[in-house]
């Protein structure tokens, strides 16, 4: 696997493309009284031009309570079909921004909030990445499998894809 670190605009574009393609990631929050993260699946609403990732969630959730104690978050996205993976660590910022709620409101979100857009428990989560690392594949899963098998049988080093830091 070759290393390809990306910076600024290229890093944001890579992050955006991967998150948009995978969509649902595991959001981990951290409580002050335990060493272990609390992780839940979340569907992103948007990755903006600066690489911030936006979500809608509920103030009644454990995630919200954890973020009130500790702003650190981790996000992991995995697409095992294409062998693409993304790990992000950052800070979560919680708000009740009515314009963002309006922007991100959709039928899927509506199912989670019975009182609609006016539900007092709707919150916006903005994840500001501090560090991110990706792994991706230049080819499909079948070709990767053959490369791994060839490498194992012959000892030849095969290019299995790329991995690197995303310096936003």
Instruction: Enter the tokens of residue 150.
Output: 């060839």
3-class secondary structure, 108:
helix
Instruction: Enter the tokens of residue 101.
Output: 């709620």
Per residue in 143-167, pLDDT (tens digit) is 455 444 444 556 655 455 778 999 9
The Cβ of residue 10 has, within 10 Å, a number of other Cβ atoms equal to 13
- Cβ 50 vs Cβ 16: under 8 Å: no
- Cβ 78 vs Cβ 22: under 8 Å: yes
pLDDT for the residue numbered 168? 84
Q: What is the domain partition of the chain in residue ranges?
A: 2-167
Per residue in 47-105, pLDDT (tens digit) is 999 999 999 999 999 999 999 999 999 999 999 888 899 999 999 999 999 999 999 99
Average pLDDT, the chain: 88
Phi, psi dihedrals of residue 84, rounded to the nearest 5°: -120, 130
**CATH architecture classification, 2-167:** Roll (2.30)
Per residue in 30-42, pLDDT (tens digit) is 998 899 999 999 9
- Cβ 78 vs Cβ 50: under 8 Å: no
pTM of the full predicted structure? Answer: 0.85
- Cβ 22 vs Cβ 77: under 8 Å: yes
3-class secondary structure, 142:
helix
């Amino acid at each position: 696997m070759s290393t390809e670190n990306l910076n600024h605009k290229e890093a944001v574009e890579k992050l955006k493309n991967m998150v948009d393609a995978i969509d649902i990631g595991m959001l981990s929050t951290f409580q002050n009284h335990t060493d272990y993260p609390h992780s839940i699946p979340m569907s992103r609403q948007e990755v903006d031009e600066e690489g911030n990732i936006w979500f809608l969630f509920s103030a009644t959730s454990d995630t919200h309570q954890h973020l009130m104690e500790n702003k650190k978050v981790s996000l992991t996205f995995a697409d095992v079909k294409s062998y693409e993976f993304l790990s992000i660590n950052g800070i979560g910022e919680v708000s009740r921004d009515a314009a963002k709620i309006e922007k991100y409101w959709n039928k899927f979100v509506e199912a989670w909030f019975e009182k609609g857009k006016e539900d007092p428990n709707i919150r916006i989560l903005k994840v500001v990445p501090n560090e991110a690392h990706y792994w991706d594949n230049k080819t499909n899963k079948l070709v990767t499998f053959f490369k791994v098998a060839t490498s194992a049988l012959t000892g030849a080093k095969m290019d299995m894809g790329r991995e690197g830091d995303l310096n936003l």
